[in-house]
Amino acid sequence: MNNTTMTAAPKAPLIRKIGYGFGDMSSSMFWKIFTAYLPFFYSTVFGLSLVDATFLMLVTRVWDAVSDPMMGIIADRTQTKWGKYRPYLLWIAIPFSIVGILLFTTPDMAYAGKRIWAYVTYIMMMTVYTAINVPYGAMLGVMTADSDEKTVFSSFRMFFAYAGSFVVLAGWEPLCKFFNKVQGIESSVNAPSSWQYAMIVVAVCCFVLFLLTFLLTRETVKTMTKESSVGSDLKTLFRNAPWWILLGGVLFFNLFSAIRYTAGPFFFASVIGDGAQLQIFSTQFLFYAGIFFAVGEVSNMAGVAMTPFITSKLGKKSTYMYALILMIVFSCLFFFVPLTSGGYWVMMLLQVMINILTGIISPLVWSMYADIADFAEHKFNTSSTGLIFSSSSMAQKFGGAIGGSAVTAILAAIGFSTEASAVQTESALVWVRALMSFVPAVVAGLSLFFISIYPLTTKKMKEIQSELEIRRAAK
């Protein structure tokens, strides 16, 4: 029996956790706009057909399948005075912001030229997103050695992520309308230039936030120096069973959210319609997609705040599973809510409950990837933190792409019309409602299957981290 005394890792200062949170606040401001509005933008503002929008989001995933692990491998082998992963926050912040603006720019071209522009800018956006987010995610594995502290860092990350999402989702449509007004455009439909100007505002905010993350964070855990070949790292990754299992669970979790966010604008445009009101006593408020999703982001924040306490009682795996079960139930109930003023309040309540649950899960995802990095170092004697965390970025982008393309493909198949004045068929409206309810419920069920067989329990991780502490101290 080993008699070495284990000392608790020092707690990171609060400002470092806040600084880390700013990074995902920046990413999420972009990502939620992409998820909620990009398919709608392409099909109703930019001018692509639903079929072309579907293929665009699917084809570009082939590049992501290569670029995400490639970036992880590069980051693992980076050595600077700032660390392995942190410098990318400084290097990529400006390209990240510029390409986001280009993505929401509608060029004055013929249809074929616009389609090429869409492919080029979308691939560029996913590339710079990978280049900054894979290293950012991997930083979680080197800012603290303590598993519980990683959950706290991850909770700060997701709290600020949802705060950024709330701001951008609540403000996006009013911001577009503001630029419509500035340009003297009298229309209920936001002009392409207004979408571009709104994204410029968001992009500037994102740049500042990533710069703050770089300035306020530090890498404190010295993992093994990379001496193994890329082929060896990939071979080790493919032998990492917990990585495969979590990848499946996270992919379907991201797909759940992506389907709801992508379907949301179509749901409000066709099922809810313009002018729907939420009434509080004698005061009425407009019920629209932005406010629906913004309330969800606040609920996400509440869920994130609960995560450390719940996982301390139940463990990460059990918390993840119970949250998924409730998500399935609440999603199915959403289909049966009547389209009345009272029904709109029920929709909001279900949105709150669903997003509290997704908020609980989100920090667990990143913390569990950090556990898998420790598992890999323990079992295979190699540190591939960046490569392992690249899978989280890949799962997020694949989930977003598959969710977005699945929604647009279904809408195209059922004859949904993107014309502003179109009257949708009854079957099309039923399918749109299913995309907000039964379809994501099935996807959550698939995530539940994978998480149910995930092997890295709380007890197992305590054993692994105790042995790793001895190894690292002996270097």
Query: Can you list the domains of the chain with their CATH numbers?
Result: 17-465 (1.20.1250.20)
- Quickly tell me which residue has 């994204």 as its tokens: 199
Residues sharing a CB contact under 8 Å with residue 298, sequence separation 6 or more, in sequence order: 162, 166
Residue 206, token pair as written in the block: 């994102």
* CA separation for the pair 130, 454 (Å, rounded): 26
Residue 60 φ/ψ, nearest 5 degrees: -65, -15
Distances (CA, A) of 338 to 19, 346, 384: 43, 9, 50
pTM over 0.85: no
Cα R_g (the chain), whole angstroms: 22
Residue 145 φ/ψ, nearest 5 degrees: -95, -10
- Quickly tell me which residue has 């032998």 as its tokens: 239
Question: Which among 264, 257, 294 has a CA at the least distance from the CA of 166?
Answer: 294
Helices (DSSP H) in 288-384: which residue ranges?
A: 289-314, 316-334, 341-380
* CA separation for the pair 4, 177 (Å, rounded): 64
| Element counts in the chain: helices (H) and strands (E) | 16, 2
pLDDT of the chain, 475 residues: tens digit per residue:
344 444 455 678 999 999 999 999 999 999 888 878 888 899 888 999 888 888 887 777 678 767 888 898 899 889 999 999 999 999 999 999 999 999 999 999 999 999 999 999 999 998 999 999 989 988 988 898 887 788 889 889 988 998 998 899 888 988 998 999 999 887 766 799 999 999 999 999 999 999 999 999 999 887 655 566 777 777 888 888 999 999 899 989 989 988 998 888 889 988 888 778 887 877 777 888 888 988 998 999 899 889 989 998 999 999 999 999 999 999 999 999 999 888 999 999 999 999 999 999 988 988 898 888 888 888 887 767 788 878 666 776 777 777 778 888 888 888 887 766 667 788 889 999 999 999 999 999 999 999 999 999 888 888 888 888 887 677 6
Burial 260-289 (b: 16+ CB within 10 A, else e): bbbbbbbbbbbbbeeebebeeeeeeeebbb
* CA separation for the pair 299, 348 (Å, rounded): 11
Which amino acid, one-letter code, is at 211? L
Q: Pseudo-torsion of CA 369, 370, 375, 378, nearest 10°? A: 150
Distances (CA, A) of 204 to 22, 86, 135, 164, 412: 14, 20, 21, 13, 35
| 118 touches 46 (CB < 8 A) | yes
The DSSP bridge partners found for residue 279 are 284
* CA separation for the pair 358, 305 (Å, rounded): 12
